[in-house]
Structure 1
Amino acid sequence: MLLSKKTSIKISCEYANLIGHMCYAASKLWNVCNYERQHYKETGLGQYPDWYYQKKAHKEDLWYKQLPSQTAQEVCRLLDKAWKSFYALKRSGGIESPRLPRFKQDGIPITYMQMGIVHERDTEKVRLSLPKALKKYMEGTYQIHENFLFLENKIFRDMDQIKQLR
């Protein structure tokens, strides 16, 4: 049986800085992909960029590399879902003039997927992986030398498998 649980976790300043940077990178990746979709003809793309194209094309971009790969793909997938919703509303006429998906001004919540999470069985700890580019940036800019994020909470002790952390 799958359960969904919501909890709060106290984190250190270094972890807050790392997570804040990843949320900022997620919003920038969203904005880059959103701009590309809105202006694909002006940017010289032959066809409309879909989710698959965008996750492949932006793999070497700065903002994509600042996120775990599954998290970056999830950002692209959520943008694709927003655009599909826009086109569905436009076709159905459900809303007279639906608005395009908006650009994000602030950091957006990130989702850690299963491959980025390691749960140490029968403990309160969860280890989250950090991308290589983010580690290098944080060491050079903020002198933060973390290889992983370790989160602790009593709720993790009774879990066998964790699929997502948001």
Structure 2
Amino acid sequence: MAQYLRIAENVYSQVKEIKDFNHDPLENLNKLMIEIRKEIKGSKLKLLYNFIDFEECLNKPNVECKIQLDISLIPTIKNEGEFILWLAGFIQRVTTDGKKKLPPIRKEIPPEFKYNQSKETVKVLHIQPEYSKSGEQIDSYFKSDEFIESSNKSP
């Protein structure tokens, strides 16, 4: 999101310098697209669409549009922070960074596939290794009569 904010700030400053914004949202959106094209020209970002019919997006419901962008709530350019955040989100929706995004896993699972988790659990026997028995052998040696007699003989 940081790269989109950076681009949005640059586009905002360029548009504000030109002072070419008016009250017609269609003209403003087309001017924004021109500035966005200029800004992303040397970067990894590419536009998803060559042409966007903003009039269709503004007049028809989002479901009926060829390109589904909700641009009904465009803030005024005077509100700098709000406009930059909106513009960053807009740039994110109309561009791609060239990386292919993996589709959701659930869409690729065929409907006939069913997973049944077996409720039987296999009981694993814990086999005691040989080296753990050596501790028991040492303990039994110290408790043996042989050790007790030899330790009592020496003064």
Give the TM-score category using the shorter length.
Answer: 0.3 to 0.5
> Whose helix fraction is larger, Structure 1's or Structure 2's?
2
TM-score normalised by structure 1 residue count? 0.32
Point out the structure with the larger strand share. Answer: 1
Using structure 2 for the length normalisation, give the TM-score: 0.34
